[in-house]
Amino acid sequence: MDYKKIIGILGGMGPAATVDLFDKIVKAAKVNRDQDHPRIIVDNNPKIPDRTTAILEKGPSPLPMMVQSAKLLEMVHVDFIIIPCVTAHYYHAQLQEQIATPILHIVKETMKYLLLRYPNARKVGLIASSGTVYSGLFDEACKKAKVELLKPSSETQTAKVMKAVYGIKATGPSDESRALAREAAETLIRSGAQVIIAGCTEIPLVLVDGDLSVPVIDPIAVLAERAVMEAR
């Protein structure tokens, strides 16, 4: 397979998710030798302000630094950009307005995958950051797809999902974060979820397909596959 396009990764949100995306791109590429892999340029900038805090109006906007990183990638002539942070896609349209290089959209790609792979799913559970939940990124997409979106209660969101997310960001995946993510997902399954979307890019580090009684969709894996296809 000949990969002609250069992939740009606007990373650092967080670093572990950026590494996960890079790893999944490498594994998704069909190659026989090192030289066959697509070229990837990464700006891993963990100084970008917290997206959830900004969306909840409790902190500075990450957009200026996201634009800075995107322009840096544009300067080195990447052909398209991907972002391993679901919540950051709240700023996708504003970011795209300021650069010419196309930016793939992780939520749109995830929904395409959901509809293709699980066309009969009518109820989908979302395990994501509070910023993603509050932003309504998946709500709008699911409404268009005529799929009911189930989300954790506010108590579960704070005590389990966000505790797992920030725990992974702080110390990496742990038994505690795995248990918390799984417990949150189980509440959605009991409410009728037929598929779970691991809608924060830290969550697939502790919750993968096969862990639950229903399928788990990993948006990072979906984005990696899409990036590999685009690089052809």
The set of catalytic residues is: 85, 200
Q: Confirm if 202 and 182 have CB atoms less than 8 A apart.
A: no
CB neighbours (10 Å) of residue 70? 22
Q: Phi-psi region for residue 96, left (φ > 0), alpha (ψ -120 to 50) or beta?
A: alpha
- CA angle at residue 141 from 50 to 85, to 5 degrees? 25
Specify whether the CB–CB gap between 52 and 87 falls below 8 A: yes
According to DSSP, residue 129 is labeled -
227 touches 22 (CB < 8 A): no
Q: 230: burial class by Cβ within 10 Å (0-12, 13-18, 19+)? A: middle
What CA–CA distances, in Å, run from 210 to 86, 144, 218? 22, 28, 12
Collect all residues with Cβ–Cβ distance below 8 Å to 88 and sequence separation of at least 6.
10, 13, 48, 51, 62, 66
